[in-house]
Amino acid sequence: MAEEKGLKKPVQLQSELAAMLGATELPRTEITKKLWDYIKSKKLQTKTVNGKPENAGKFIVADAKLLPIFKKTKSTSKSGKLTDLTNLKEGETIDMMQMAAVVGANIKK
């Protein structure tokens, strides 16, 4: 079998994410899928910034399990946009477009 490359290549997870997902190594695609499965199962989406969970919308509400994972995120995208979630509090939201930055911040380089 050919070695997996890009998003399908398994990466090492940092401890908080590994504990939450029950794995130490997963491809980025699987990490994202498992995080979304959790978010949907807990109905942690909302249509407004820092809104109450309503199971729909482009914002993700940080619960006690997601918060430590989200708080590791501080990165600058290729376009120069800073994603800094280090001061996020439980019940606050992130934009779903920040999920790639969250995943990137929780894998070992």
Nearest to 33 by CA among 99, 97, 101, 104: 99
Q: pLDDT tens digits for 38-54?
A: 999 999 999 999 999 89
Q: Check pLDDT > 90 for residue 68.
A: yes
pLDDT, residue 2, reads: 59
The domains located in the chain, with CATH, are: 9-105 (1.10.245.10)
Rounded to whole angstroms, the Cα distance separating 58 from 76 reads 21
Instruction: Work out whether strand 25-27 and strand 45-46 pair parallel, antiparallel, or are unpaired.
Output: unpaired
Instruction: Work out the pLDDT band at 16, boundaries 50, 70, 90.
Output: very high
- State the average pLDDT over residues 30-37: 96
Residue 85 confidence (pLDDT): 97
